[in-house]
Structure 1
């Protein structure tokens, strides 16, 4: 799924309670009362109400409650194709793990809604997912408001060619994971707008067009050099939706997946014949 709730809850921790178990999902904690600390990425933060922190999947972390005034927090754990991008839209990144949180009442409103529909059913699955998305939307809106209040001209340390090179390396390594432009920009530490302007300057195309072109050429190669099905090829280049993949492929090459494969096979046979029967 694009995004799915794994777990949610609220807890008043005992004094000195510590957790240091890496998780395989994203988790956002909201500090509601008391105090505690969070250590990740070589940094440690002392946290109090009005702050939130994110745990990235499979990252070494430690967080714990204060000895004299242990914290109470709420949390949401989620994963999915869009999880990384949504975390970024909420303001988080590997370099920004702690942020001010929205009003507690707003957070608890949606978490309580999720908890009130905990019985297993298809309908409740959808309700929990809907409330998760609404909560993430509130976090994204909160981040946008804070960013607008504190916006300053961005200055980057390196030339556009360096950022384009780093972006291409990241695309080559992760194109099959369903990444988007926000993921690429976040990974190299620049804004989406600057990433696109860098690609336009260096390559004469947007970062989005480069990403799509790269995926389509990888897909075309798999289509004619392997026996993978269309679904397998689609998944191999980061598309969960085969219809979206097929439309993107046809737009790029001007023909359907089936016609492309047939055309390539015919051209290969023609070239072989020309080699075998020189004039």
Structure 2
């Protein structure tokens, strides 16, 4: 392999000829280029390459097809395959790219949505793309630490591309890895450890990786109640325990169970127990006294 080369010019910035740092997946080259009008590339390469169109327009030809490309699109070049791509004559493109190889290279490209029939796809925002490309270029010095950093950023980049593809295709709305009972169990674990912090249903759903709607349907299926009802009930029972077992004020107890507004807490408590927090302790003592006198 040729010596590693770094170029930093006004229209072309590139890190290339990197060694394969891992059998799984390795960065071989990466960069950004502002192309001149009509600039053409026509050759095959040994590695996979994903190009991201940042500005301007151009074309890509492979396997007998040609695509016109514009900002917000990306295209994949497969190894050992003749391709041609080039900048428009009047509105030449600026693009970024990553070249990579390894035994996981093909599967990672597929996770991003690419296939031989889908070589051109929507791309994430240009800001996200340039952020990751810049991270890779900034750690260009050859060292074991930078080898690891480039590997880490490359994997994070693929994670972003995969996540973007799943959101675009709606896969994250259609499939859930676990049963509803597992999601409910995870949600309850989160509630019991975080209820004091003012969490809401969106926080719970986000923490376990599902939508609010799916979280609520899981609670309805498993417990015959909404996630919101469970959260409120849990907080109210914690508040009742504190009212009976401590000398804390109503305001302090409201804050302890995640309420910043004492009035909102008091209304919820009265709705649950039929008596205000202020009178709850006296009410419970009266009930106990009554039951003690029963024959």
Query: Scaled by the length of structure 2, what TM-score is found?
Result: 0.50
Aligned partner of 1:119 among 137, 141, 146: 141
Please report how far the alpha carbon of residue 149 of structure 1 lies from its aligned counterpart in structure 2 after TM superposition: 7.4
Please report how far the alpha carbon of residue 111 of structure 1 lies from its aligned counterpart in structure 2 after TM superposition: 0.6
Could you say which residue in structure 2 is the equivalent of 1:18? 40
Which protein is bigger by CA-based radius of gyration?
Answer: 2
Q: Secondary structure in 1 aligned to 2:129? A: helix
Q: Does 1:44 align with 2:66?
A: yes
Could you say which residue in structure 1 is the equivalent of 2:166? 144
Which runs of no fewer than 5 residues in structure 1 stay unpaired?
153-279
Please report how far the alpha carbon of residue 6 of structure 1 lies from its aligned counterpart in structure 2 after TM superposition: 0.2
Please report how far the alpha carbon of residue 64 of structure 1 lies from its aligned counterpart in structure 2 after TM superposition: 0.2
How far apart are the structure 1 equivalents of 2:45 and 2:154? 19
RMSD value over aligned CA atoms? 1.6
Q: Secondary structure in 2 aligned to 1:16? A: coil
Please report how far the alpha carbon of residue 60 of structure 1 lies from its aligned counterpart in structure 2 after TM superposition: 1.3
Q: Secondary structure in 2 aligned to 1:22? A: coil
How far apart are the structure 2 equivalents of 1:78 and 1:150? 27
CA deviation map 1:97-121 (0-9, x unaligned): 0000001111111110000000111
Please report how far the alpha carbon of residue 42 of structure 1 lies from its aligned counterpart in structure 2 after TM superposition: 1.1
Q: Contact conserved, 2:166 with 2:172, CA < 8 A, in 1?
A: no
How far apart are the structure 2 equivalents of 1:137 and 1:40? 26
Question: Which structure 1 residue ranges, 4+ long, deviate > 6 Å from structure 2?
Answer: 149-152
Paired positions, count: 152
Q: Does 1:54 align with 2:95?
A: no
Please report how far the alpha carbon of residue 151 of structure 1 lies from its aligned counterpart in structure 2 after TM superposition: 9.1
How far apart are the structure 2 equivalents of 1:132 and 1:150? 23
Q: 1:151 to 1:92 in 2, by over 3 A?
A: farther
More relative contact order, 1 or 2 (CA 8 Å, 6+ apart): 1
Aligned counterparts, 1:253-272, within 5 A? none
Aligned counterparts, 1:112-261, within 5 A? 112-148=134-170
Q: Does 1:93 align with 2:93?
A: no
How far apart are the structure 2 equivalents of 1:144 and 1:66? 31
CA deviation map 1:250-278 (0-9, x unaligned): xxxxxxxxxxxxxxxxxxxxxxxxxxxxx
Q: Secondary structure in 2 aligned to 1:109? A: helix
